[in-house]
Chains A and B, each alone.
Chain A
Amino acid sequence: AQSVAQPEDQVNVAEGNPLTVKCTYSVSGNPYLFWYVQYPNRGLQFLLKYITGDNLVKGSYGFEAEFNKSQTSFHLKKPSALVSDSALYFCAVRDSHSGGYNKLIFGAGTRLAVHP
């Protein structure tokens, strides 16, 4: 079965330190991977996506993600965390069995808390 796992419910980081939010996936074929962020009482905002090519993908707000095919991972990273980065982060993969439906399968989410 296709799935996305975010093994950490919460990640705590001090402001100015690097952050990593982990994501692993299981999908047949080539994966299309996405990261979204959700601030309190808001919808999801698109951060970045991996389709093909360079394994390091750069996105919005200084975030980047590293695709690792052998480890089936797509970890979200940022060199220097800001308090304003505190939010709920979702990893998603396109359901490769959905044909033209392009349904996304989401992980359970990881809450990032950046402390001053």
Chain B
Amino acid sequence: EAGVTQSPTHLIKTRGQQATLRCSPISGHTSVYWYQQALGLGLQFLLWYDEGEERNRGNFPPRFSGRQFPNYSSELNVNALELEDSALYLCASRTQGMSYNEQFFGPGTRLTVL
């Protein structure tokens, strides 16, 4: 069974540009979560999508947005990039059903803002 995949692996942008990150969940998983892992800050919850809708978002500004497609893959968009947006962005997926089902993570996209 294929795991969660993310693309690109690395992304280099300059301040003010926009970045688009992509995630494909494990087959059969309908929920996709996005996390930001900035140096020294641990994992911060960004967004949760389920069945094509944004269900919850963390404490991030509106320039962080995304969507989930009918095939349950997801896109994270970051507009007006700032230097502090440089981080590893992790996507995770899980099945619906039991609330204790674990999340499965992809390898991440490392975003560098110059």
Q: Interface SS of chain A: helix, strand, loop or mixed? A: mixed
| Residue A116, interface by CB 8 Å | no
Q: With a CB–CB cut-off of 8 A, which chain A residues contact B99?
A: 32, 94, 100, 102
Task: Give chain A's interface residue range (CB within 8 Å of chain B).
Answer: 20 to 34
Contacting residues, chain B, for A43 (C-beta < 8 A): 4, 6, 90, 105-108
Complex CA distance for A19 and B4, rounded to whole angstroms: 30
Bound CA–CA A104/B43 (angstroms): 10
Contact A45-B43, Cβ < 8 Å, known A51-B100, A98-B56? no
Mark A residues whose CB is within 8 Å of B.
32, 34, 36, 41-46, 49, 51, 90, 94, 98, 100-109
Q: What are 27 A-to-B residue pairs whose CB atoms are below 8 Å?
A: A32-B99, A32-B100, A41-B107, A43-B4, A43-B90, A43-B106, A43-B107, A44-B92, A46-B103, A46-B104, A46-B105, A90-B42, A90-B43, A94-B100, A98-B56, A100-B99, A101-B55, A101-B56, A102-B31, A102-B94, A102-B101, A103-B45, A105-B45, A106-B42, A106-B43, A107-B42, A109-B42
